[in-house]
């Protein structure tokens, strides 16, 4: 834990985001001017948390033999692992100081959030869609303003650090669930999309840029990013049985969910207001969150004016 805090403090004290190099030089010899950049990144997750429930199922991996539970394991992880593509513009005010604004599109790797396998009921037991697997994937568009500190140039390589914030402007968590009843030949497929509440994240990076000719440079940087996303609404966008679309057969409460911090007897919830639950309205449920923290490498090109 102390090591992680030390590394985070080191990053936070020295970082910022996406490529810089030399701009124009004024009469005093200071570099300044506009720069434009584009690059791609791959991130690995660094902080794992327990995933939220999926369709009422806890974040567990359960394995059965017949009706006997033989193993149960908590499923943890982060949606911070994945690819990012983006670009932006920056302005360098002096030899040592500049600012940036980037826009990025991020898509995470798929993560298993809950699953059960191997369950077989006794002969004659009613069929239940017990064996299932739910996988989640995040897609997001964000803005990332940052402050850049230039650390000097050595043999054509100019190092820099930057610190900034991440402001998601669009995106969603998509959860795909495949379930098979334990008796009978049936396969159920379902896709849910969870849209988030507004949030704010943190990013920090260390990088270096190398001028390759004219006003063009290549750059590489190591970046740490961290933020959590809280659910706002959920909508079931597809539901099929044996490949046949059955979405229209679901009630409004089954298709739509509004997330809240507190459930009361006035909420449209089967948990706190079973007698007053209205299936023609969206279900109210407790808001959960997922983490999107990662450490990644970015490579790109930059053009300086």
Q: Tens-digit pLDDT profile for the chain (305 aa)? A: 333 443 444 444 443 333 333 344 444 445 789 999 999 999 998 878 888 888 778 899 999 888 888 999 999 888 999 999 999 999 999 999 999 999 999 999 999 999 999 888 766 555 565 789 999 999 999 999 999 999 988 988 999 999 999 999 999 999 999 998 766 668 899 999 999 998 899 999 999 999 998 899 999 999 999 988 888 999 999 999 999 999 999 999 999 999 998 999 999 999 999 999 999 999 999 888 888 889 999 999 999 98
Task: Determine whether 272 is exposed, middle or buried from the number of CB atoms within 10 Å of its CB (0-12, 13-18, 19+).
Answer: middle
CA dist., res. 103 & res. 82, Å (int): 16
Encoding tokens for residue 30?
A: 């200071």
Domains and CATH numbers, the chain: 2-304 (2.40.160.20)
The DSSP secondary-structure symbol of 247 reads G
CA dist., res. 85 & res. 105, Å (int): 5
CA dist., res. 61 & res. 114, Å (int): 6
What pLDDT sits at residue 289?
Answer: 83
Residue with token string 């030899």: 95
| Alpha helix segments (H runs only) across the chain | 2-14, 252-255
What pLDDT sits at residue 58?
Answer: 87
What pLDDT sits at residue 221?
Answer: 97
Encoding tokens for residue 301?
A: 């090109």
pTM score, two decimals? 0.83
């Amino acid at each position: 834990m102390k090591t992680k805090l030390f590394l985070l403090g080191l990053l936070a004290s020295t970082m910022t985001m996406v490529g810089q190099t030399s701009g124009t030089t004024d009469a005093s010899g200071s570099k300044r001017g506009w720069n434009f950049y584009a690059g791609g990144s791959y991130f690995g997750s660094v902080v794992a948390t327990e995933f939220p429930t999926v369709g009422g199922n806890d974040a567990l991996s359960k394995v059965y033999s017949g009706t006997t539970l033989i193993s149960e394991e908590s499923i943890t992880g982060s949606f911070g692992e994945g690819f990012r593509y983006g670009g932006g513009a920056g302005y360098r005010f002096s030899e040592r100081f500049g600012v940036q604004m980037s826009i990025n599109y991020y898509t995470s790797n798929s993560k298993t959030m809950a699953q059960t396998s191997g369950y077989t009921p006794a002969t004659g037991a009613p069929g239940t869609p017990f064996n299932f697997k739910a996988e989640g994937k995040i897609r997001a568009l964000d803005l990332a303003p940052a402050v850049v500190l230039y650390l000097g140039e050595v043999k054509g390589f100019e190092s820099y650090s930057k610190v900034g914030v991440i402001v998601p402007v669009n995106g969603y968590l998509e959860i795909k669930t495949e379930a098979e009843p334990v008796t009978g030949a049936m396969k159920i497929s379902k896709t849910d999309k969870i849209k988030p509440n507004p949030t704010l994240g943190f990013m920090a990076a260390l990088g270096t840029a190398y001028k390759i000719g004219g006003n063009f440079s290549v750059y590489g940087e190591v970046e740490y990013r961290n933020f959590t996303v809280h659910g706002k609404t959920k909508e079931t966008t597809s539901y099929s049985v044996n490949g046949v679309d059955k979405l229209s057969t679901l009630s409004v409460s089954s298709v739509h969910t509004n997330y809240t911090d507190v459930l009361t007897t006035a909420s449209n919830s089967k948990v706190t207001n079973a007698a007053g639950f209205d299936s023609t309205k969206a279900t109210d449920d407790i808001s959960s969150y997922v983490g999107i923290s990662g450490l990644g490498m970015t490579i790109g090109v930059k053009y300086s004016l």
